[in-house]
Amino acid sequence: MKRLLWLAAFWGLLGSLGAQETLNYDQWMTRGRRALLAENYQGALEAFTQARKLDQNADEPVESLAQLYTSKKLYSLALEEYKILHERHPVDREPLVKLAETYGLLNQNLASIRYFEKALGFFPRDLEIILALSWMYLKEEQIQRGIDLLEGKRRELGEDKSLAMYLAILYSEDYNYDKSRAEYLKSIAQAGGDRGFTALCYYNLSLLEVAFYRFDRAFEAVEQNLALDNRAGGHLVLGELYQNRQDFRKSREELEKADKTDDTPYSKFDLVQIYLQFGYLAQARSLLQTIEEKKDDSWMYNYGITKKKFDRDLNEIWMKVYYYEAALVDFDPKPWFWDHILAFFRKLYFWIQGWFHEMTLRQLTLEIARESGAQGFKTWLNYYKAYENYPQAAAKYLEMARAYELARTSRARGSWLMEEGKLRKDKTLLLQALEAFQVPDENEQIVQTLQVLIPLLKTSDQEVLARELTNRLYKLNPGALRTAGLSLPLQLNVYGPLGPQVQAKILEFAGWCGYSVSAGSRPGVEYSLNVQAAEDGSWRFSLKDAQGLSVFSDFAPKKAAAEEGFLRGIFDRIHRLP
Amino acid sequence: MNPGTAKMVQILRLGSILFLWLNAYAYFSRFVDPVFLAGALVLSMGLAALLRLWGGRLIWQWVIFAGVLAGIRFLAQGIFSLLAQGGPSPADGLFLWFDRNYFPLLIPMGVSFALTTWALRFPGFIPWERLVNALLLALIFSFQAGYKGQVYPHPIWQGLAVALFLFVELWMLFLIFRPAVKARVQKANPWTRILFPILFLIPLVLGLAWFLLLKYEEAGTAGGGGLMRPELFRFDFSQFVKLESEISMNEDLVLLYREQGPRQKRYLRRYLLSGYSQEKGFFVDPPAQVQDETIPPVGQIRLKLPDPELPDHKPVVQEYYIVNFDPTSLVALGYPVEVVPFQKWDKSSFVGLYQVTSKVLTPAGLRNAAADPPPVLSPEVQAHYLNYGQDEKIRDLANTAAAGARTPWAQAMAVQNYLQTQYTYSLKPGVSDTGNQLHHFLFNSKKGYCSYFAFSMVLMLRSLGVPSRVAVGFFTQEEEELMNFYPVRANQAHAWVEVFLGPRGWVNFDPTSPNLAPGEEFHFSQGLPLDEFTKYITEILKNTLLEKNEPSPEDKSQENSWEKFVQASLGHLGMWWPWYLLGFWAGVLGLRAGIRWAGVNLGSPRGRVNRAWNQFEALGRRWGHKKPAGMTALDYAALWTGPAAEKALRQAQWVNGARYAADFSLVQAQQALKDHRDLQKFLGSQQPWVIRGLSLLWPWIPADLGRRRRKS
């Protein structure tokens, strides 16, 4: 009765807005379809609703509404319609599968699994359902269930290229390199002329190779992928491989190519990483904001990620942004006591922001670890990451994760030495890690190791070694110095009639900012800043390495050299890619 | 302060501090467990009390406090380390749990400790602590960026919370100063009784209100892109638009706009600004002869507006779902001809809903307008729309920009194109050296936000003799359309230009440059998060639209009637609370007057006289003659001096008669009451007129205030 009164009032109102029409069911449906074509979604919605009112048992209006909502990404509304259809036809395939998919699109993975399992009960030989369910198992880290399902179905249904690929993905998540690779190769062999599918297999294979530190094979696989299908995924992996090598230009180029066609935020995410690693904070921040503005999370359905994991990753990157900002405050000029006070508060501000993101990151990581339920490599790794600041708790998880991974690939040794060195603040382990990494494919890890190791050496009076390693870090990535609170040790050589004044000025400025500059030679210092200060006030300056080769050189006329931010600009330039 | 009062003050202090941090809790609730918060506050304040008992220097108290905090963490880490021995266990998570709670609470603990230490050590600090608390509360609320309900879900709750806070703070002040006031009264300076609360109350309330309103205004202006201003708990466009040197924008959702048909960019107009002066900028000033420039408010019933019946105009139906905007402000396309306000449903996310039908120029009409003859307006109206302040530099620039353009249409297109291509968009146009921001934009910086462009185009066109005006409102972004809904956020506030082209009326032009100023970054809104958008759309689709003047369906109105009543009351209260407050107080006073009247006019003769005597005693308290317990009526009357003494004595005799005489007639009672009224009148006449006036609002005000002051 209530509903009738409401509907009466609603249609009374509609009647007052336009001419009252009396159409039958078919006419309303026709009107709805036409409205859809005319992009008049409100009209379509009203027409389908009206049709449903006239024939409350008809499925077509419900289906049309569900499709309309799905097409407009209104998944929660679509879900309600699919629920109605499923209630009416509990053993029909379509409503069940749509219901499961829609739950997946809403990132309600457990509900999605429930309905896919139900669907599988009714349609045990339906490959689409089998694959979708195995994918959801993967997303929820129920790897063994996924493997069991696919292996069982393969025995039942026989070989299939998709089954092989999905199995390969699951084996990859299970850290079973050999089986995973074998399945990928099998799926490629079974693909026949399906270029798109083969390309996808190569893409996934390249991810497997990266996960097992086989970078040469990863390059091969991704090149195969791009040769078959020049799409975002391949460029993304290639960009990440170059990122591992700390090749900024190539990495950015590939990631930008990926970004052009990527409907996920992954390529932007990687671009943010590379900008951050090379000290381009403004670009990283800007891109990060763009990622956060992406409002639709339904893309996650097709990727092995959940909303929580994505949030965790975002918090991690924001944490880095703020901690880097805090580190950069140390390099602001502070000629007066008041500047130190201001710098302290500015640093505190960034540090607090970073801390809040770090806490969120750790908390989310812990939740992910707890929710996974299963005991396995990823769970231990998550526990380790959650407790990273507390060696007492983290060490045992590190031990378990390391034992697990090293049992499967010895190539991970460098990474684990680095992790343990970072956790225990152990210089020896970190130095060993530097020796264990593959060059150049693990340059990124080398950079990370150096960023931790050099400050430890400085505090233990190993200044010379610290300087030598800083030079090494600089060669790999000049932007990585200041974000870790480091600066390039420099010898200052000033020539020309204004030499003494200019030298004093530069040394004074370097002192204000905390840059490591000295007029004389010091052990471990390879680079020199050479300034020719002419009588007319102009400067010719260059940065040279140990061999006397110029890293960059430039000329500043008197006006430019006299500007307030000139010296700051020079030091900024030194700590960026030439 | 006696010990009882001191205890009460300390309890209230504790409550006040807890209240403050509970408000702040909204900001760190993600990290801090409420139990941890409560424990931390009890610890810090308890420690302050213990250290006070111990005595010692302040610096040592702080050292001990810091040591205890550090020690607690050290101890916790030690215990957790022991628990974490062996294999993986749930105890491993304790480290993270503790730090996640501990670090955010350091500031609340430090502040609470500091305040309590000072309050216990220096009782004179307690009144000043009220001010500190008020500032802290203002600081907590100021983080909300314009009352968007981060701490409280609705501004009403925030208002109530602030009222409660003020009540507690004022109560404390009252308790603190009551002995002092009493003492001072005895020293014949009763002004102190009023002055002390006033001295604290007025700065406290005004300071708090000023700070909050300032932050509110700042946030509102910033969030509205320099165009919007906050009204009472809502936003609306300003009727005066000035050019700011810098603005920022926030992304808060203002409303949802719904229009059928293919997605398109729309300009949703709120105000038309045709008045201009160099000092004030553009402002609302509709000429008397022009009807379409007066924007009526959205009322309670369907509103019909005159249809100009212009060629090439088609009706377009729009729906507005207001989230954070004044719901009575009419926003519309083109020429609105009908406004239909809708009822809100239960638990609605919207503060107002209405539908507008407007006549809008069709695309074909827009093309036809190019060939229209020059417009003809009456001389007064023409003069109004051509006022450009006789600025020759602007006229010269307009001539340059529109060189070769003959018709108003061509001139408008030329000026629009000139501004779009030669100037850039910036939220930081900078400050003019000469004070003329518009000249700074046009001839110097060449960068500005939408108002700069709109102002410039209107003035340039007016200097060329083309009638034009500034329009302010919102634009919609077609790519954000979902099911014919468009989210409109605060950063979509916009200013554009309407040009009068004759038969087809006023036509929109948007001269704002799409090019960002070099080196500047700006993120336009990218739509609502899908979850949020879906939530709103689902709510709209699940509820029916009912016109305001239509009765609600009977059965629906019975659902959740209590909730509905509370919600409706709160909503109403939000708009009218000052009047309700006044009304409430008038009611209290009226009730008091009624009871007093009934006391002396109803009942037995003895009862009436007794109650009249009670009223006299109450009046006596106002005059500083409090009747001690056990004192007889005659002795009390003897306390009075001067002309009042005789009248008081008569009252005492009457009440004795009423109490003890064997017979007491109605006639005697009436005589007694006549004397009572004489006495009241006499005493009233002895008060200064200020006190008499104030006693109407506050009947308990000391009546002898003026007399004593004159004596002193």
What confidence score (pLDDT) does residue B399 get? 93
Minimal Cα–Cα distance from A377 to chain B, Å?
A: 14
B432 contacts B394 by C-beta, under 8 angstroms = no
C-alpha to C-alpha distance for B492 and A568, rounded to whole angstroms = 38
Minimal Cα–Cα distance from A5 to chain B, Å?
A: 6
Residue B72 has pLDDT above 80, yes or no: yes
DSSP state of A495: E
Give the residue-averaged pLDDT of B596-607. Answer: 86
Interface test with A, best of B263, B534, B560 (most A CBs within 10 A): B534
Q: Is B255 helix (H, G, I), strand (E, B) or coil?
A: strand
For residue B522, which residues of chain A lie inside 8 Å, CB to CB? Answer: none
Minimal Cα–Cα distance from B459 to chain A, Å?
A: 36
C-alpha to C-alpha distance for A61 and A47, rounded to whole angstroms = 9
Q: Is B357 helix (H, G, I), strand (E, B) or coil?
A: strand
What confidence score (pLDDT) does residue B147 get? 39
**Average model confidence (pLDDT) for chain A?**
90
C-alpha to C-alpha distance for A472 and A477, rounded to whole angstroms = 9
Asked whether the beta carbons of residue A40 and residue B556 sit closer than 8 angstroms, the reply is no
pLDDT tens, position by position, A418-474? 999 999 999 999 999 999 999 999 999 999 999 999 999 998 889 999 999 999 999
Asked whether the beta carbons of residue A74 and residue B527 sit closer than 8 angstroms, the reply is no
Interface test with B, best of A53, A73, A75, A295 (most B CBs within 10 A): A295
For residue A294, which residues of chain B lie inside 8 Å, CB to CB? Answer: 526
DSSP state of B104: T
Phi (first) and psi of residue B240, to 5 degrees: -125, 125
pLDDT tens, position by position, A199-227? 999 999 999 999 999 999 999 999 999 99
For residue B553, which residues of chain A lie inside 8 Å, CB to CB? Answer: 2, 5-6, 8-9
Q: Is A223 helix (H, G, I), strand (E, B) or coil?
A: helix
Interface test with B, best of A3, A4, A74 (most B CBs within 10 A): A74
Of A1, A13, A297, the CB nearest to B555: A1
Helix, strand counts (H, E) of chain B: 23, 17
DSSP state of B495: E
Q: Could you tell me which of A265, A270, A264 has the C-alpha nearest to residue A243?
A: A270
Neighbours of B253 (CB within 10 A): 20
Of B262, B534, B545, the CB nearest to A76: B534
pLDDT tens, position by position, B466-483? 999 999 899 998 888 888
Give the residue-averaged pLDDT of A3-8. Answer: 42
C-alpha A396, offset from chain centre: 27
What confidence score (pLDDT) does residue B185 get? 46
Give the residue-averaged pLDDT of B495-521. Answer: 86
Asked whether the beta carbons of residue A290 and residue B103 sit closer than 8 angstroms, the reply is no
The tokens for A533 are 């200060």
Q: Any idea which residue has 């061509």 for tokens?
A: B410
Interface test with B, best of A359, A367, A382, A384 (most B CBs within 10 A): A359
The larger pLDDT score, comparing residue B703 to residue B74, is at: B74
DSSP state of A483: G
pLDDT band at B528 (very low <50, low <70, confident <90, very high): low
Helix (H) or strand (E) holding B65: helix B58-83
What confidence score (pLDDT) does residue B551 get? 54
The tokens for B299 are 């009322």
Asked whether the beta carbons of residue A10 and residue B545 sit closer than 8 angstroms, the reply is yes
The larger pLDDT score, comparing residue B302 to residue B102, is at: B102
Residue B437 has pLDDT above 70, yes or no: yes
Provide, for chain B, the percentages of residues in helix, strand and coil under a 3-state DSSP scheme, each rounded to the nearest 5. Answer: 55, 15, 30
Q: Report ipTM (2 d.p.).
A: 0.81
How many residues are listed for chain B in this entry? 712
Minimal Cα–Cα distance from B94 to chain A, Å?
A: 9
pLDDT tens, position by position, B138-178? 777 766 544 344 556 555 677 778 878 888 888 888 787 77
pLDDT band at A13 (very low <50, low <70, confident <90, very high): very low
Asked whether the beta carbons of residue A293 and residue B550 sit closer than 8 angstroms, the reply is no
C-alpha to C-alpha distance for A267 and B463, rounded to whole angstroms = 51
C-alpha pair distances (Å), A52 with each of A18, A42, A43, A55, A70: 21, 15, 14, 5, 18
Residue B532: closest CA among chain A residues belongs to which residue?
A295
What confidence score (pLDDT) does residue A303 get? 83
Q: Is A201 helix (H, G, I), strand (E, B) or coil?
A: helix
Share of chain A above pLDDT 70, in %: 96
Q: Any idea which residue has 């406004």 for tokens?
A: B339
Neighbours of A535 (CB within 10 A): 8
pLDDT tens, position by position, A299-339? 888 787 888 999 999 999 999 999 999 999 999 999 999 99
pLDDT tens, position by position, B13-58? 888 888 888 888 877 787 888 889 889 988 999 999 899 888 888 8
Asked whether the beta carbons of residue A74 and residue B483 sit closer than 8 angstroms, the reply is yes
Residue B659 has pLDDT above 60, yes or no: yes
DSSP state of B637: H
Which range is least confidently modeled, A115-124, A562-571, B164-173, B553-562?
B553-562
Asked whether the beta carbons of residue B95 and residue A392 sit closer than 8 angstroms, the reply is yes
What confidence score (pLDDT) does residue B138 get? 79
Residue B27: closest CA among chain A residues belongs to which residue?
A356
What confidence score (pLDDT) does residue B140 get? 79
For residue B523, which residues of chain A lie inside 8 Å, CB to CB? Answer: 286, 289-290, 293
pLDDT tens, position by position, A400-434? 999 999 999 999 999 999 999 999 999 999 999 99
pLDDT band at A1 (very low <50, low <70, confident <90, very high): very low
pLDDT band at A2 (very low <50, low <70, confident <90, very high): very low
A84 contacts A49 by C-beta, under 8 angstroms = no
Asked whether the beta carbons of residue B99 and residue A38 sit closer than 8 angstroms, the reply is no
For residue B545, which residues of chain A lie inside 8 Å, CB to CB? Answer: 10, 13
pLDDT band at B597 (very low <50, low <70, confident <90, very high): confident
Q: Is the peptide bond before B179 cis (omega within 30 degrees of 0)?
A: no
Strand partners, B235: B230
C-alpha to C-alpha distance for A383 and A282, rounded to whole angstroms = 32
Provide, for chain A, the percentages of residues in helix, strand and coil under a 3-state DSSP scheme, each rounded to the nearest 5. Answer: 70, 5, 25
C-alpha pair distances (Å), B682 with each of B107, B615, B678, B687, B690: 60, 15, 6, 9, 16
> Taking CA B599 as the corner, what is the angle to CA B598 and CA B605, rounded to the nearest 5 degrees?
110
Report yes or no: A576 at the B interface, CB cutoff 8 Å.
Answer: no
Strand partners, B283: B240, B275
Tell me the DSSP string of A161-172: HHHHHHHHHHHH
Give the residue-averaged pLDDT of B530-542. Answer: 79
Q: Is A322 helix (H, G, I), strand (E, B) or coil?
A: helix
A276 contacts A314 by C-beta, under 8 angstroms = no
The tokens for A41 are 């979604």
DSSP state of B443: I
Asked whether the beta carbons of residue A363 and residue B100 sit closer than 8 angstroms, the reply is yes
For residue A298, which residues of chain B lie inside 8 Å, CB to CB? Answer: 530
Residue A9: closest CA among chain B residues belongs to which residue?
B546
Interface test with B, best of A40, A42, A281 (most B CBs within 10 A): A42
Asked whether the beta carbons of residue A74 and residue B482 sit closer than 8 angstroms, the reply is yes
C-alpha to C-alpha distance for A283 and A29, rounded to whole angstroms = 51
Convert A63-73 to b/e letters by CB count within 10 Å (16 or more is b).
bbbbebbbebb
What confidence score (pLDDT) does residue A259 get? 92
Report yes or no: A39 at the B interface, CB cutoff 8 Å.
Answer: yes
Residues 6+ apart with CB under 8 A from A116: A97, A100, A129, A132, A133, A136
Helix (H) or strand (E) holding B117: helix B106-121
C-alpha to C-alpha distance for A346 and A325, rounded to whole angstroms = 9
Residues 6+ apart with CB under 8 A from A288: A272, A314, A317, A318, A321
Give the residue-averaged pLDDT of A167-176. Answer: 94
* Chain A stretch 5-24, residues whose beta carbon is closer than 8 A to a beta carbon of chain B: 5-10, 13, 16-17
What confidence score (pLDDT) does residue A8 get? 44
Residue A578 has pLDDT above 80, yes or no: no
C-alpha B607, offset from chain centre: 50
C-alpha pair distances (Å), B227 with each of A92, B62, B240, B487: 56, 49, 9, 19
Asked whether the beta carbons of residue A13 and residue B546 sit closer than 8 angstroms, the reply is yes
pLDDT tens, position by position, A43-91? 888 899 889 989 989 999 999 999 998 988 888 889 989 999 999 999 9
pTM exceeds 0.90: no
Q: At what angle do helices A215-228 and A232-244 cross, to 10 degrees?
A: 160
How many residues are listed for chain A in this entry? 578
Q: Is B712 helix (H, G, I), strand (E, B) or coil?
A: coil
Asked whether the beta carbons of residue B483 and residue A76 sit closer than 8 angstroms, the reply is no
Q: Which of A126-130, B149-153, B516-520, B600-604 has the highest mean pLDDT?
A: A126-130
Residues 6+ apart with CB under 8 A from B289: B378, B380, B381
Q: Any idea which residue has 């225990």 for tokens?
A: A424
A449 contacts A430 by C-beta, under 8 angstroms = yes
pLDDT tens, position by position, B88-138? 888 899 999 999 999 999 989 999 999 999 888 887 788 888 888 888 887
Minimal Cα–Cα distance from A340 to chain B, Å?
A: 22
Q: Could you tell me which of B248, B514, B477, B449 has the C-alpha nearest to residue A295?
A: B477
The larger pLDDT score, comparing residue B702 to residue B459, is at: B459
C-alpha to C-alpha distance for A70 and A116, rounded to whole angstroms = 18
For residue B261, which residues of chain A lie inside 8 Å, CB to CB? Answer: 38-40
* Chain A stretch 262-291, residues whose beta carbon is closer than 8 A to a beta carbon of chain B: 286, 289-290
A317 contacts A269 by C-beta, under 8 angstroms = yes
A–B interface: beta-carbon pairs under 8 A: 122
Asked whether the beta carbons of residue B99 and residue A77 sit closer than 8 angstroms, the reply is no
Residue A197 has pLDDT above 60, yes or no: yes
Minimal Cα–Cα distance from B478 to chain A, Å?
A: 13
Asked whether the beta carbons of residue B553 and residue A5 sit closer than 8 angstroms, the reply is yes
DSSP state of B374: P
Strand partners, B482: B485
What confidence score (pLDDT) does residue B708 get? 46
C-alpha to C-alpha distance for B656 and B667, rounded to whole angstroms = 16
Minimal Cα–Cα distance from B85 to chain A, Å?
A: 8
Minimal Cα–Cα distance from B554 to chain A, Å?
A: 9
Residue A285: closest CA among chain B residues belongs to which residue?
B521
